[in-house]
Structure 1
Amino acid sequence: MFDELPPLSWLRAFEATARLGNFTRAAEELNLTPSAVSYQIRALEARLGHKLFERRRRTLVMTRLAQSYLPVVSKAFADIDASTAGVFGRMGGERVTLRCMNSLNMLWLVPRIEAFRARHPDIALSLLSASWAEGGDSALIDLDIRYGEGLWSDGEVIPLMRHGVQPVCAPDLAGGMPALERGPLIEMAGVVDTWRHFFRLHLPETRPPSPDYVVDTSLMALELAERGLGHALVADIFAAPYLESGRLVRSCDRNLEARHGHFIVVPAHSDRNRHGVRAMIDWLGEIATDA
């Protein structure tokens, strides 16, 4: 029975080395020495009769056979992990570190996160904020939610949601398109869907007034708009709680179709098949569908 199954310690060494990219990091995760990990990989290669890694100067490159074998091994360990937790409960729990831009954290994720904890009480969370999608050190991040075209090369990119962009203001400033022509306007820095694009689409003969405020987060734009300081052009998922509470209203009935979207990025060092990471990806996909 299981005559073809190599020792699990060899398979763990292979999975960790392939995921982390070298013997040293794998050894740290497995509480072994790099030479011990290297020995287990060589033993596994001898057992299988095939090379798993090409050993080049200071780097390891997986062979094609190893690339085919890794998802099978990773899924097997993930299934064992999930089944063990399901039958016996988690030993000490698990923590997932999720990072996303500050406005998405405060206006979309935090109001919903209690539902995730209710479904997965065994998973502890670390929620980090970034001002920009690619800011900060990603070494300790399990999942990143970024805004852009989805063309990042430092991990697996999973589409999450794409939404419209709409102008909003305090009720006293509402007045349709003529009010927007008068301003004042609040501009978001670093985005592709700007007031210039809005006016070009809906008022092509009118030049937009210069913005009175330029800010770098949707949250700041919304707070300024709530104080009656101008019209803000923001994503509808961010404007929703302000509109629902009556703190803001739509400036007009026009909007823009966003050219960028939100994506989940699973960094290269992260393990998508780990129970907590997989659970978070699935849950984010569910709530994005309802957004």
Structure 2
Amino acid sequence: MYKELPPLPWLRAFDASARLGSFTLAAEELGLTPSAVSYQVRGLEAQLGHKLFRRERKALILTRLGQAYRPVVAKAFADLDATTSNLFGKGAEAEITLRCVSSLNLLWLVPRLEHFKAANPDSRLRVLSASWAELAEGEEIDVDIRYGDGNWSDGEVVPLMTHAVIPVCAPALRSGGSPRSLARGPLIELAGVVDTWRHFFALHEPDCDIQEPAYKVDQSLIALELASRGQGIALVAEVFAQPYLQSGKLVQASALTLPPRQGHFLVLPSERNRFRPEVTALVDWLRNEAQT
């Protein structure tokens, strides 16, 4: 592996010399003698089989290949420096990156975050939203809150909470609460979930004729907003509906529910340090909030 990679001290000597235009200045930066820096650069040139500098009387001039090689080496050191700082530097442990599915983020997490900050005033929280559980390119996630069956293999999976699925509607649309009255709709359904209106009626009124949903949406928040505007009856997880029920914007359209088959889980990615004290504090706080 890395058979063509030159020794890192040689690359550091080349990077400093190219940046500063002088073996003497590079030596001061690296804590070496100018002859040591010159020796390392010559070693690099010998391994590569090409000259990287033209040595002139008062300056070093990069050759064409040296000009092409310099940004690659500089970027490699910059990336290594930034990653080392992010993972192990003084500011790395203080910041926590939390990703949460969008509806839970807005309806459950955000109203509670002030309590976490009050208990952990020195913490720095970076909160990201995701509609689904897709991995974001290049993102480093410390704690990922996902909705599903908990069957993920890219980290430690910790149960957070499960919820019954309930039908809700604007107060003016509530009528009776029987399956047949619900079937008259209009119905609002979430796409991509296992708990659909078809499953609801199959459980409570198998012979009931139901119409196609008037709306199919990809987020509980959209379903709740449509329902609160009188556009239909939405079937959503109870945890999402609670703020709307408490405010009176929505009422439970029926006492009938679907038992939970999926839930929210914490996923702690394998490549991140799950045992950082600030991450442990966040995980413990989230689980406690979910229980209470």
TM-score (norm: length of structure 2): 0.68
**In 1, Cα distance between the equivalents of 2:282 and 2:154?**
19
Amino acid in structure 1 at the alignment position of 2:240:
F
1:7-42 Cα shifts (integer Å, max 9, x gaps): xxxxxxxxxxxxxxxxxx9987557xxxxxxxxxxx
Equivalent residues of 2:93, 2:278 under 8 A apart: no
- 1:257 alignment partner, SS class: coil
Runs of 4+ that moved beyond 2 A: 25-31, 90-93, 134-139
How many percent identity over aligned positions? Answer: 56
**Alignment partner, residue 145 of structure 2:** 145
Match of 2:157?
157
Partner of 1:132: 132
Which of these residues, 213, 216, 219, is aligned with residue 215 of structure 2?
213
Give the whole-Å Cα distance in 1 for the aligned partners of 2:255 and 2:228.
Answer: 18
Q: Find the aligned partners of 1:261 and 1:138 in 2 and give their Cα distance.
A: 27
State the Cα deviation string for residues 142-163 of structure 1 (Å, max 9, x = none). Answer: 1100111111011111111111
Report if the CA contact (8 A) 2:93-2:276 is conserved: no
Q: Deviations over 1:251-287 (max 9, x none)?
A: 1110001211111000112111112111110000100
Q: Following superposition of structure 1 onto structure 2, how do residues 75-94 of structure 1 map, counting pairs within 5 Å? A: 94=94
SS of residue matched to 2:209? coil
1:264 is aligned with what amino acid? Answer: L
Structure 1 residue 288 corresponds to structure 2 residue 286? no
CA distance in 2, matches of 1:204, 1:160: 32
Q: What residue in structure 1 maps to residue 113 of structure 2? A: 113
Give the corresponding residue for 1:197. Answer: 199
* Structure 2 residues without counterparts, runs of 5 or longer: 1-78
Hey, what's the Cα distance between the residues in 2 that align with 1:139 and 1:154? 14
Cα distance per residue 1:207-244 (max 9 Å; x no partner): 32100000000000000000000000000010001001
Larger radius of gyration: 2
Q: How many corresponding residue pairs? A: 211
AA of the residue aligned to 1:154: D
CA distance in 1, matches of 2:223, 2:84: 47
Distance 1:149 1:92 in 2: 32
Amino acid at match of 1:286: N
Alpha-carbon deviations, 1:149-193, whole Å to 9, x = none? 111011111111111000000001101124312100001000000
Deviation at 1:92, TM superposition (A): 9.2
Q: CA RMSD for the aligned pairs?
A: 2.4
Shift of 1:139: 3.5
Residue 138 of structure 1 contacts residue 267 of structure 1 at CA under 8 Å; is this kept in 2?
Answer: no
TM-score by length of 1: 0.68
The one-letter amino acid paired with 2:204 is H
